[in-house]
């Protein structure tokens, strides 16, 4: 799972990245602070409780009541689980800012878009305060609006995709004409596969061309038709959610107005203050505050056993006051919505022993694998290891005890043992 942070320069992409991944990166109040992409891991809670809450008392040695982990008894190889709230990893990519005209070489040009290859979704960080223009420079009055920021970004990504399709389109489309739609889809698939585009994305693109009234001689298709293909491919390959950032600089009504706009477009959106979350993440790192990632940013507690200076306390209380006005639980919550709602991902827990739910080293539910909805037991096997996929014989559902075939669908929170040839 890979999610890219995009937007015009100077909006808080790197601040968001740093708070989500607890990784220090360059952050500054001018455009193009980030040039090379930052890559890190964010941890998001699985919406359903970890199956370790279903483990019978007979097979665990740790007593739940005595456990500081709120009853969780699993042993995640990575991440953690407290109170049956299991955290799974999402790779985050923070790229350079995008400016209008990037497709013609302005700013960093299109180079950075290649950095987004293989991202499953994008989160656009938008500056709610509107204090900088689309190039990220401060300007008098309202320099640019959230709507403008959103529209130009979509346009730039689509123009970039169009320019990729345009390269050798008519020659390539003519070459595959005897193969019909199937060959045309394959031709488009090849062009976008380097960016992580799938056959499904190519099918969606060709369908869009047809329904836009394109003729049945694809090699004659012009800019407009290729643009409709790009638009459909963009929506399929890079669904976009929006973080209305820097909400600490605007009023509640103004935030509601902006959110309303994106909601009518059916876009997942949330008001955020990545600067506040960044400060809280640092404060948690140094033990000053406690909170669970994904809970509301005003819900932190100031720890009593560590001395907090009056200034620190003032800053923290100011954050609490400002954040308490905001709906939604911040960046981790937004990321969870992208993964589990927009992308409909599920989580399955493979084990080596379906009776004890452990791996070969006796670790309880060590792995949590994120899969697309509609994945089969065989897909899960491939998701764990290619050898397990190619040697797949059958699987068993550890909850029901039933044996299942390779084509059986996996559901959220399934605990599965894969039987494979070694």
Ligand X SMILES: Nc1nc2c(ncn2[C@@H]2O[C@H](COP(=O)(O)OP(=O)(O)OP(=O)(O)O)[C@@H](O)[C@H]2O)c(=O)[nH]1
Q: Does 108 participate in binding ligand X (rule CB under 6 A)? A: no
How many residues belong to the site for ligand X (CB under 6 A)?
24
Which three-class secondary structure state does DSSP give residue 284? helix
Write out the binding residues for ligand X, residues 24-43 only, by CB under 6 A: 27-29, 31-34
Q: Does 97 participate in binding ligand X (rule CB under 6 A)? A: yes
Q: Does 279 participate in binding Mg ion (rule CB under 5 A)? A: no
Q: Does 132 participate in binding Mg ion (rule CB under 5 A)? A: no
Please, are residues 345 and 288 in contact by the beta-carbon 8 Å criterion? no
Strands of the sheet containing 415-420, edge to edge, are: 369-372, 345-351, 415-420, 392-397, 403-404
Decide whether 76 or 328 has the Cβ nearer to ligand X.
328
Write out the binding residues for ligand X, residues 273-312 only, by CB under 6 A: 273-275
Q: Does 13 participate in binding ligand X (rule CB under 6 A)? A: yes
Q: Does 245 participate in binding Mg ion (rule CB under 5 A)? A: no
Q: Does 15 participate in binding Mg ion (rule CB under 5 A)? A: no
Q: Does 144 participate in binding ligand X (rule CB under 6 A)? A: no
Decide whether 14 or 124 has the Cβ nearer to Mg ion.
14
DSSP 139-152: -SS----HHHHHHH
d(CA 173, CA 219): 5
Tell me how far CA of residue 235 lies from CA of 60, 156, 174, 232, 263, in angstroms: 46, 13, 26, 5, 16
Q: Binder to Mg ion among 7, 14, 93, 248 (CB under 5 A)?
A: 14
Q: CB under 6 A: which stretch of 40-48, 243-251, 336-344, 368-376 binds ligand X?
A: 243-251
Q: CB under 5 A: which stretch of 13-21, 116-124, 136-144, 354-362 binds Mg ion?
A: 13-21
Radius of gyration of the chain (CA): 24
d(CA 258, CA 263): 9
Nearest by Cα to 340 from 232, 413, 248: 413
Decide whether 128 or 338 has the Cβ nearer to ligand X.
128
d(CA 375, CA 322): 42
Please, are residues 153 and 7 in contact by the beta-carbon 8 Å criterion? yes
Q: Binder to ligand X among 249, 282, 292, 356 (CB under 6 A)?
A: 249
Paired with 3 in beta bridges are: 92, 121
Decide whether 273 or 293 has the Cβ nearer to ligand X.
273
Q: How many CB atoms lie within 10 A of CB 309?
A: 9
Which three-class secondary structure state does DSSP give residue 171? helix
Q: Binder to Mg ion among 34, 129, 236, 376 (CB under 5 A)?
A: 34
Helix axes of 252-264 and 146-166: crossing angle, nearest 10 degrees:
30
Q: Does 162 participate in binding ligand X (rule CB under 6 A)? A: no
Q: CB under 6 A: which stretch of 107-115, 240-248, 250-258, 307-315 binds ligand X?
A: 240-248
Q: Binder to ligand X among 103, 225, 231, 245 (CB under 6 A)?
A: 245
Distance of closest approach, residue 240 Cβ to Mg ion, in angstroms: 18
Binding site for Mg ion (CB under 5 A): 13-14, 33-34
Residues contributing to the site for ligand X (CB under 6 A): 7, 9-15, 27-29, 31-34, 96-97, 245-246, 248-249, 273-275
């Amino acid at each position: 799972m890979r999610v890219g942070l995009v937007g015009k320069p100077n909006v808080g992409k790197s601040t968001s990245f740093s708070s989500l991944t607890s990784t220090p990166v360059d952050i500054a109040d001018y455009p193009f602070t980030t040039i090379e992409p930052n890559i890190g891991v964010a941890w998001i809670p699985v919406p359903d409780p970890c199956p370790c809450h279903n483990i019978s008392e007979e097979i665990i040695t740790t007593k739940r009541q005595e456990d500081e982990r709120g009853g969780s008894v699993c042993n995640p190889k990575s991440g953690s689980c407290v109170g049956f709230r299991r955290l799974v990893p999402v790779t985050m990519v923070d790229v350079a800012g995008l400016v209008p005209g990037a497709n013609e070489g302005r700013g960093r040009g299109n180079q950075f878009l290649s950095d987004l290859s293989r991202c499953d979704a994008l989160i656009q960080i938008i500056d709610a305060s509107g204090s900088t223009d689309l190039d990220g420079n401060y300007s008098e009055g309202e320099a640019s609006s959230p709507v403008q920021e959103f529209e130009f970004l979509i346009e730039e990504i689509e123009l970039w995709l169009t320019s990729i399709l345009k390269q050798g389109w008519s020659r390539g489309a003519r070459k595959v004409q005897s193969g019909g739609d199937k060959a045309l889809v394959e031709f488009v698939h090849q062009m976008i596969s380097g960016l992580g585009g799938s056959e499904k994305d190519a099918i969606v693109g060709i369908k869009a061309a047809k329904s836009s009234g394109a003729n049945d001689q694809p090699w004659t298709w012009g800019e407009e038709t290729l643009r409709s293909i790009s638009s459909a491919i963009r929506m399929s390959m890079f669904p976009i959610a929006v973080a209305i950032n820097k909400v600490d600089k605007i009023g509640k009504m103004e935030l509601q107005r902006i959110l309303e706009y994106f909601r009518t477009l059916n876009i997942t959106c949330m008001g955020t203050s990545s600067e506040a979350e960044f400060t809280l993440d640092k404060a948690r790192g140094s033990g000053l505050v406690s909170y669970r990632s994904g809970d509301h940013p005003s819900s932190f507690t100031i720890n009593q056993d560590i001395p907090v200076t009056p200034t620190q306390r003032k800053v923290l209380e100011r954050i609490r006051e400002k954040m308490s006005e905001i709906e939604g639980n911040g960046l981790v919550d937004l990321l969870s919505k992208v993964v589990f709602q927009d992308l409909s991902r599920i989580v399955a827990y493979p084990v080596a022993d379906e009776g004890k739910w452990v791996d070969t080293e006796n670790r309880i539910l060590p792995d949590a694998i994120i899969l697309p909805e509609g994945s089969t037991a065989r897909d899960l096997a491939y998701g764990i290891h290619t050898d397990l996929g190619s040697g797949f014989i059958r699987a068993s559902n550890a909850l029901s005890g039933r044996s299942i075939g390779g084509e059986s669908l996996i559901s959220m929170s399934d605990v599965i043992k894969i039987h494979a040839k070694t």
